[in-house]
């Protein structure tokens, strides 16, 4: 009933909950550089495209069917669908859809996918409450800063232990963003973070199932509700994050508090956000990039005798599937990544469709790829040589793949990625209008026009 046996508790943590609440409640609107503000727009745009793109996926269908059993009020848009549900359910559903393709953003230091929980909660609340686009962008920057800083403090022990860090820190980020939108004061914001602290979501064992994308959705919903509860006077511990039996010490034995306090309000974690050009795990990206560069140099699949890859051992450990049988398996095949890069110059969701993966030319081309481990090559790099039938050799070395922080996708690339996902769902014309609306988000007096464009046409 009452042992006091918690191992290695830190009783001297700084007042993290209060410090973050103070930051979220009082940091000035647009209190950051133009570059940070533009990155926030890129983060939002990328998230929006992913959510609209997956709107018809069976995971969203199933979740929507469950939510419908609650007979939800029509408050906030389900992205990519001509449908509104209550704002908490919209946060859940848009969080699920945005992570379904595994094509959303990545904060590389922690592997957090930060927009899923934060943007899903913030947009649903902002739409229903009539907030401005500026308020939404502010909430997004601050919410992502909260979740990624908490992630920095706990990573990697927390992740190694089994937590899907996107969901476990995402509840806090979503609560922070919603507290900001609700204009909660410092004390109420601390309560919102406190209530959220009791609700970390997500275990890594769920990878490969619908519950993986449920994690950002569940975190979005829980964070939004935490802020609503706090706004009505619901209370939590003012030390809910940092206390010995608070959230962080309960879910991680590593907690570097300085990751939360250092340069808070000066350095913004959203600056380090990255966006996937390819719809698969990041270790394959350099190889796809290299093969797409070979294609751009004029190499055609039918000319190829052999493709020689030199990669870090991790690449084959994680994605060494030589003969993938379907789209999901192909996402774990560096061989398929190379074949897609050479054949299409890209590897979006459609290049991982079952019917593409099983095509005879793709099977044949994958068999021509020979991968060799060379741990002098960084895991973020690759060395590729295409040996052609005429005996000539074409060489490409990729140090940082496209989509990395060092070599980011351009705004135009993000737009093309968005079109690739959304055109089939809401039409190319509507997608173009939606993209334009997203770039001008900070000027929008409310979210009505953007949400109307985000809704499906059927």
Candidates 5-13, 172-180, 270-278, 427-435 — which segment interacts with its own copies by CB under 8 A? 5-13
* Between 190 and 450, CB nearer to its own copies: 190
- State the burial class of residue 88 (Cβ atoms within 10 Å of its Cβ: 0-12, 13-18, 19+): buried
Cβ proximity to its own copies, 168 vs 293, nearer residue:
168
The Cα 454–Cα 78 span in angstroms is: 8
Among 38, 183, 245, 262, binds its own copies (CB under 8 A): 245
Write down the least CB distance from residue 422 to its own copies, Å.
24
Task: Pick the closest to residue 286 from 384, 392, 147, 192 (CA basis).
Answer: 384
Number of residues that bind its own copies (CB under 8 A): 76
Side-chain half-sphere CA neighbours of 92 within 13 A = 25
What span, in angstroms and rounded, lies between the C-alpha atoms of 434 and 454?
A: 7
Distance between CA atoms of 88 and 255, rounded to whole angstroms?
A: 30
Residue 195 contacts its own copies per CB under 8 A: yes
Q: Which of 214, 268, 278, 352 binds its own copies (CB under 8 A)?
A: 214
Among 173, 246, 286, 337, binds its own copies (CB under 8 A): 246
Among 198, 261, 271, 407, binds its own copies (CB under 8 A): 198
Identity of the residue, 36 or 236, whose beta carbon is nearer to its own copies in the bound complex: 236
Eight-state DSSP code of residue 458: -
Q: Give least dist CB 299 to its own copies, A.
A: 29
Please give the radius of gyration of the chain, using alpha carbons only, rounded to the nearest integer.
22
Q: Name the 3-class secondary structure at 54.
A: coil
Cis bond before residue 204 (omega within 30° of 0) = no
If one asks whether residue 313 binds its own copies (CB under 8 A), the answer comes out as: no
- Select from 47-55, 245-253, 395-403, 404-412 the region that touches its own copies (CB under 8 A): 245-253
List 15, 19, 186, 203, residue binding its own copies (CB under 8 A): 203
The one-character DSSP state at 183 is T
CB 61 within 8 Å of CB 75: no
Q: Which of 30, 161, 359, 419 binds its own copies (CB under 8 A)?
A: 161
Q: Which of residues 423-452 bind its own copies (CB under 8 A)?
A: none
Binding mask 46-85 for its own copies (x = CB under 8 A): ------------xx-xxx-xx--xxxxx-x----------
Integer Cα distance of 20 and 26 in angstroms:
10
CB 240 within 8 A of CB 247: yes
Residues 215-244 that bind its own copies (CB under 8 A): 215, 218, 222, 225, 228-229, 231-237, 239-240, 243-244
Which of the ranges 3-11, 22-30, 143-151, 324-332 carries the binding residues for its own copies, by CB under 8 A? 3-11
* Nearest distance, CB of residue 255 and its own copies, angstroms: 12
Nearer to its own copies, 31 or 244 (CB): 244
The CB-side HSE value for 132 (13 A sphere, CA atoms) comes to 10
Q: Is 282 in the site for its own copies (CB under 8 A)?
A: yes
Torsion angle defined by CA atoms of residues 350, 351, 353 and 358, in that order, rounded to the nearest 10 degrees: 150
């Amino acid at each position: 009933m009452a042992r006091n046996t918690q191992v290695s508790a830190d009783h001297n943590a700084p007042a993290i909950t209060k410090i973050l609440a103070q930051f979220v409640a009082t940091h000035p609107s647009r209190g950051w550089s133009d570059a940070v503000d533009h990155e926030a727009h890129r983060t939002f745009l990328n998230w929006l495209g992913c959510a609209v793109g997956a709107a018809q996926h069976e995971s969203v269908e199933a979740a929507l069917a469950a939510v419908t059993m609650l007979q939800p009020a029509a408050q906030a848009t389900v992205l990519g669908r001509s449908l509104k549900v209550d704002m908490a359910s919209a946060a859940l559903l848009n969080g699920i859809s945005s992570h379904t393709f595994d094509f959303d953003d990545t904060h590389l230091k922690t592997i957090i996918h930060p927009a899923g929980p934060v943007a899903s909660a913030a947009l649903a609340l902002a739409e229903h409450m009539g907030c401005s686009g500026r308020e939404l962008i502010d909430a997004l920057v601050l919410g992502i800063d909260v979740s990624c800083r908490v992630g920095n403090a706990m990573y990697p022990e927390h992740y190694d232990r089994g937590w899907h860090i996107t969901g476990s820190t995402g509840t806090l980020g979503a609560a922070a963003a919603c507290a900001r939108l609700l204009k909660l004061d410092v004390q109420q914001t601390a309560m919102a973070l406190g209530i959220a602290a009791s609700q970390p979501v997500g275990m890594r064992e769920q990878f490969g199932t619908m519950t993986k994308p449920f994690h950002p959705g569940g975190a979005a919903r829980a964070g939004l509700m935490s802020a609503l509860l706090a706004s009505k006077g619901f209370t939590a511990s003012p030390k809910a994050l940092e206390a010995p039996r608070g959230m962080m010490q309960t879910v991680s034995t590593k907690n570097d508090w300085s990751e939360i306090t250092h340069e808070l309000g000066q350095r913004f974690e959203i600056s380090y956000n990255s966006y996937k050009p390819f719809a698969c795990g990041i270790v394959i990206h350099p190889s796809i990039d290299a093969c797409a560069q070979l294609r751009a140099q004029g190499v055609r699949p039918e000319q190829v005798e052999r493709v020689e890859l030199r990669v870090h051992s991790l690449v084959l450990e994680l994605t060494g599937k030589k003969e993938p049988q379907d789209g999901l398996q192909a996402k774990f095949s560096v061989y398929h990544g190379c074949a897609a890069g050479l054949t299409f110059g890209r590897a979006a969701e459609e290049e991982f469709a079952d019917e593409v993966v099983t095509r005879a030319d793709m099977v044949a081309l994958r068999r021509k790829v020979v991968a060799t481990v060379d741990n002098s090559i960084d895991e973020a790099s690759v060395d590729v040589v295409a040996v052609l039938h005429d005996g000539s050799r074409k060489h490409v070395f990729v140090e940082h793949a496209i989509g990395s922080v060092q070599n980011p996708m351009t705004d135009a690339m993000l737009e093309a990625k968005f079109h690739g996902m959304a055109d089939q769902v809401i039409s190319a014309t509507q997608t173009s209008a939606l993209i334009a609306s997203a770039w001008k988000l900070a000027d929008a007096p409310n979210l009505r026009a953007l949400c109307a464009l985000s809704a499906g046409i059927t």
